[in-house]
A and B are shown apart, each in its own frame.
Chain A
Amino acid sequence: MDVFLNLLLSVIRLCTPIFVAGLGNMFCERVGVLNLGAEGMMISGAFMAVLGSYMTGNAWCGVLCGILGGIAAGGIHALVCVEFGGLHAISGLGLTMFCRGVTKFLCVAIFGSTYSPYVSALQTTDILAKLPMAGSYLAQLSPLVYAAILLGIGAHYIVFHTTYGLRMRALGDDPRAVETAGIDVWKMRYSGVLICGALCGLAGAYMGLGQLDRYFDGMISGKGMIAVIAVKMGNWSPLGIFLTALLLGLFDVIQLKLQISKTLALSPEMLAMIPYLAGIAVLCMKRKQGSRPTALDTVYLRNRYKL
């Protein structure tokens, strides 16, 4: 029982960043903007969160900085894709490269190496320790995990039960119809991408302050891409994304456990491939398009910019 619960805790810890970043990407893709820059937003969020915590000494200020860092990166993506009519995939790639370069550059400039020092973090929720029965287990999770659960429920409500969500879903399928109905397509798209930036920033902040208590170069290592896959596999709904994130988190845990226990005579580098191979397998098994927003990855230009 104890082993099982500990396993569950590790799965939850590792699936949280995928889930939160996936939620963000869902908002982005629902408004019709493809986001391959999730990786960059997460890097920016993680770095800013650790930097904020380092500067202020308060981890919650760090989380706020992380979210702002994610929004800043999301703002670049929104500007290029929504305002300037750029190609989404290229902008996303550029954003990831840009964020990776800038954070490494700043990390070396501020901390003097590609590792940051240890900062105050949010690895446990001490308030829950007093609860009977499960208290000792629940306290082992970061408060950001609980925030993620609330965000998931909130996202489900917003997407399926509010006017904003209805407009968002319509926008993902047919921007022209939405514009004809008198809704500002670009404002909606901006909001979707910026929400995505905030959530990816939070996911990055969780990785920097919830899982670890420091930043190092390359710590996000492909989690953003895994989140993009989780959205596709999760059929663009929060519940689906949660289940996919759990599955992908499970593979991550298996990989880590195998590395530590050395039961299989495989090198750690081979095992580190497992989560990515699982991601590829998941991607390839997804045959049906499901409720894929049909206007995903399309440019919708303001009239005044048309030549």
Chain B
Amino acid sequence: MKNRTKSPASGRTVTRQQVVNLIVPFLLIFLSFLLSSVWIVMMGKNPVEAFAVLFKGAFGSSANLVGTIKKSVPIAFCTFAIIVSMKGNAFNIGAEGQFAFGAIGATLAGNLIQGLPSPLCIALCMLAGALFGMLFGLFPTIMHRSHGVDLLVIFLLMNNVAEYFLQYFVLDLFKSENALVPSSRPIQPAAELPYLLGPPYRMTIAILFVLVCAVVLSWFFNKTVAGYEMRAVGQNRDAAFYAGIPTGRYTSMALLISCALAGIGGSLEVLGNYHCLYTEISPGFGYDGIPIALLCDANPLLAVIGSISFGALRNGSLSLQAKMGLSSEIVSVIQGSLILVIASNYFIRYLLNRRKRG
């Protein structure tokens, strides 16, 4: 989208451009809320009241706030996954599947690794999650690089495969015999993440991993040669190629790192939240990352804020269901319309610029 907006020559208009750049994300979010409130009105409910309930459910009490932060951890890792792939000139929409496989990897490791001290055990489980995520993304990456297979299509199909494999794993292969809800065998206590806040809240240190990961990614892209070259590939593949950067290698590398990050997200969800695996471990976290990554312009630090707001949306929608009888599915409606207005981003910029000019 960047190369389409020509930056005007004079200094004054450039600042206008900056103002527009600042306004647009908020405008897009506002528009998507407007589009979703159409459906709320159709149900005969007051949209303003609904969004107030949503906000209160997300930030109203300390318990709600902790819930929001918990929800934002997996979303943040999926967002990082998509950001890294975007930097490498690809688009990883298979984060949903890699997330599930990361969770499977962590569950397996958490069960099989015995008798190690807790920090080492946790590290190994997360590594297993990253590896499983990466291995799941390996085949599409290879096919994309060697045969030019369409990444979007193959990743979407792989997500379906992952969904069924997760069901197979939880319901059949690794099922727990004495559980009320169908779930896998629980991981051993040594693999559980320690709490940052005690039992009434049960907030684990997972959020710290998010912050560390954001800083590391930001450092990688801005301060290292590999990160710089990867960004170059993402911004203009041809120019990077003529500058002698191995573009294919960087794209594959970005995709594999991206898959590993989604896998870590899945492993943290198992190690920190559930301590075992359910079939509904991800209500679409992998797809949440897409609008966030696009809105924050692939900036890892801003992505943390974006993830927390999307976590708020998911957490708040639960109280929307309880208090107003609206399906929590309104989240997908908001997200879907958000992606649609992000796609029309160029037209909105055009309208803004035209008004300023006239």
Contact = CB atoms under 8 A, between A and B. Distances in A.
Interface of A: 36, 76, 79-81, 83-87, 89-91, 93-102, 104-106, 108-109, 221-222, 225-226, 228-229, 232, 267, 269-270, 272-273, 276-277, 279-280, 283-284, 287, 305, 307
A263 B262 CA distance: 37
Given A84-B346, A85-B346, A307-B6, A267 B337 contact: no
Given A98-B340, A222-B160, A85 B347 contact: yes
B347 A86 contact: yes
Overall SS of chain A's interface = helix
A87 B150 CA distance: 16
A159 B334 CA distance: 38
Overall SS of chain B's interface = helix
B41 to A, nearest CB: 12
A279 B154 CA distance: 9
B330 interface: yes
Interface residues of B, number: 53
B287 to A, nearest CB: 6
B63 interface: no
Interface string B126-166: 00000000000000000100010110111011101100110
B248 interface: no
Interface stretch (B167-175, B183-191, B267-275): B167-175
A269 B332 contact: no
A36 to B, nearest CB: 6
Contact of A101 (B153, B290, B331): B331
A97 B154 contact: no
A101 B332 contact: yes
Contacts of B157: 222, 225-226, 229, 276, 279-280, 283
A101 B32 CA distance: 13
A95 B154 contact: no
A269 B340 contact: no
Contacts of A225: 153, 156-157, 160
A100 B332 contact: yes
A91 B340 contact: yes
Nearest to A224: B156
B342 interface: yes
B328 to A, nearest CB: 9
A80 B167 contact: no
Contacts of B281: none
A108 B156 CA distance: 26
Contacts of B160: 221-222, 225, 273, 276
Contacts of A222: 156-157, 160
B294 interface: yes
Contact of B153 (A95, A228, A273, A287): A228
B181 interface: no
A229 B155 CA distance: 12
Most buried by A among B4, B152, B172, B334: B152
A39 to B, nearest CB: 8
Given A222-B157, A225-B156, A101 B342 contact: no
Nearest to A273: B164
Interface in B322-356: 326-327, 329-340, 342-347, 349-350, 353
Contacts of A91: 339-340, 343-344
Given A36-B156, A232-B150, A284-B147, 9 more contacts: A87-B1, A94-B336, A97-B339, A104-B329, A105-B329, A225-B153, A269-B171, A270-B165, A272-B164
Contacts of A87: 1, 343
B165 A273 contact: yes
Contacts of B91: 89
A36 B334 CA distance: 19
A70 to B, nearest CB: 16
B39 interface: yes
B353 A307 contact: yes
A243 B93 CA distance: 29
B43 interface: yes
Interface string B1-15: 100111000000000
A98 B340 CA distance: 8
A97 B336 contact: yes
Contacts of B143: 284
9 contacts: A79-B344, A84-B346, A94-B338, A96-B336, A105-B329, A108-B327, A267-B171, A273-B164, A284-B143
Nearest to A77: B340
B154 A76 contact: no
Contacts of B326: 105
Most buried by B among A91, A99, A101, A276: A101
Contacts of B332: 97-98, 100-101, 104
A267 B340 contact: no
B168 A269 contact: yes
Given A102-B333, A105-B333, A307-B6, A86 B345 contact: yes
Nearest to A93: B339
Interface in B299-341: 326-327, 329-340
